Each structure stands twice: as structure tokens, then as C-alpha cells.
Amino acid sequence: MKLLRYGPAGQEKAGALDAQGRMRDLSLLVPDLTPEWLAPERLRALTAIDLQKLPLVDESVRIGVPVAGSRQFVAIGLNYRKHAEEAGMEIPKEPVIFTKAITSLSGPNDDIVLPDGAQEGDWEIELGLIIGTKAQKVPVEKALEHVAGYCLANDVSERNWQAKRGGQWSKGKSFDTFGPIGPWLVTTDEIPDPQVLEMELKVNGETRQKSTTADMIFPVAQIVSHLSQFMTLLPGDVIITGTPSGVGLGMKPQQFLKKGDVITLRMDQLGAQTQKVV
């Protein structure tokens, strides 16, 4: 099932995509797609709904973050071998962890707002996942049972703040609008293997990143298990899993985002995003 939230920021309603790819209004049945709705039994109940009987949603409406009320936004760095190499960093022996502010979450097609004085804005296409049930010290073979679904993500970064302002990556990752996710939360029954998804990111129509989740150093199950060893993962938590090579920082010469740039992203089964840089 493909779940979504639509409407003005702060006033989103629950929705779902029908078999023809049309948006349907779920709000009469589901007040909002909050963490409790990601529990397996509730997701099963949603799949039983006849979406054809629900009202259509205007295709021009804004799409929001696909889940409301997330409490943690966790990211994995250097999780594709070629990306680590282009960044001039060693291949990690364990997942590299950092966090993004919850306030950086934004809709998949919302504008990206560069902060005042931004020098090195950058793009990073990533596979995102959203936790469905609390995870504490789970083994790898059980880890995917705690995932409600997957989404497309752009880990927008400001490299000067990330690398040259005291070494705290979160500084360059947490500005408002630096966490577009969606358009949908695709439940795990539609994506039994998250390690076979192709992805592509373009800037102003030119391909910058093109890869597949098969190239991850640490696959999704290992990431979820690893995180759960030292932190409790809660329903609604967003985890993004690293980016392949092709970021602006790694280009020769380096290229960074500027006002007016348009970023387009797509990933198998997870839809597409378009963001304008302002």
C-alpha cells in the first residue's frame, strides 16, 4: 500500500494511492497518519479498505511528509563504497550515524531553502525507511519486522556547516527543508527486498547520481539492528540509509546548489520528487 499525506503544511490529511495511481482521501477513516497507524495490525486493516469508494484528491494538491509525529530522524553516512571514496574517507567498519533535526523534514516537492550565507549546498538521494514497531536490541534476521515501509529521501546538506564548523555533521544537515521525504510511504509487503531498488538524481536535468541499493555497504536490516543496540527506535522514526557517489562535494571541480536550481529524484517503486532551490 502507498500511504501519503496531502494539503497545506500543518494541515495535512491522510491519503492513499489506488491501483490506478490516483490519490484517495482517507481522512474520514484515518484522522492522520501518526505513529500508531504504522502498527502491523492497523496497516493490515488499511489494506482491506476499498479505495475505489473513497473520494479522489485533486492531483495539484501539495504532498506532505508521509507520516506525522516522528520523534527521531536518524541518518547513515558513507554507506556506499564509491561515495566514501569520493569523500576521501575510509570505508567504515560499522555504520556511521548522525541525526537530522525533526524540523528539517519537509514534503517531497517543497522548496529547499538555503540558509543565509550558504556556500556549499549539496544533494544526496537516499532510501528512507519508517519504523512501525518499537525496536530494542533486535537481531538482523528480525530487523525488517520492525519496518512499516520505505520512502524516497533527499539528505540535503550544507557542506561548510557540516565539515568546517566544529566537526558536527548535524550542523550541516538540520536546516529547515533539508529533509524532503515521500511522496509516499510504501508498505513492506510491496517491497520485500529493499536492496534491489534503482535510483537517480538530476540537477537541472543533468544526472548526478545513479545507482542501486544493492551497493550499500550495510543493508537495511543491518542498519536497523545496529541502531537498536544503542538506541530505542520508535514507531514513526525516520531513518535514511546513505547516498551513492555523485554528490556536488565529490565533483571535480566541486559544484554546489544555487538559487533557482531544480533537483529531481526518483527511485523504483517509491515515486519521484522535484525541489526548487530558493
User: 556511521: which residue's cell?
Assistant: 96
Residue 216 lies in a domain: yes
For residue 211, which of 278, 149, 127 has the smallest C-alpha distance? 127
Residue 181 contacts residue 152 (beta carbons within 8 Å): yes
Output the pTM of the full model.
Answer: 0.96
Residue 137 CA to residue 149 CA, distance in Å, equals: 20
Residue 51 lies in a domain: no
pLDDT at 54: 97
CATH of the domain at 75: 3.90.850.10
Residue 263 contacts residue 171 (beta carbons within 8 Å): no
Residue 24 lies in a domain: no
Mean pLDDT, each 10-residue run in order, the chain (278 residues): 97 97 96 97 95 97 98 96 82 95 98 94 98 98 98 97 85 97 98 98 98 97 98 98 95 96 98 98
Residue 150 CA to residue 219 CA, distance in Å, equals: 13
Any residues with CB less than 8 A from the CB of 21 and at least 6 apart, and which?
A: none
pLDDT at 164: 87
pLDDT at 218: 98
Q: Read off the C-alpha cell for 201.
A: 538524481
CA distances, 81 to each of 85, 87, 156, 173, 275 (Å):
6, 10, 20, 21, 27
Residue 54 lies in a domain: no
CA distances, 220 to each of 145, 153, 166, 208, 213 (Å):
11, 14, 30, 23, 9
Residues of the domain holding 88: 65-276
Number of domains the chain contains: 1
Characterize 244-272 residue by residue with b for buried, 16 or more Cβ atoms within 10 angstroms of its Cβ, and e for exposed.
bbbbbbbeeeebbbeeebebbbbbeebbe
pLDDT at 85: 82
pLDDT at 90: 86
Residue 35 lies in a domain: no
pLDDT at 88: 81
∠ CA(91), CA(211), CA(274), 5° rounding? 115
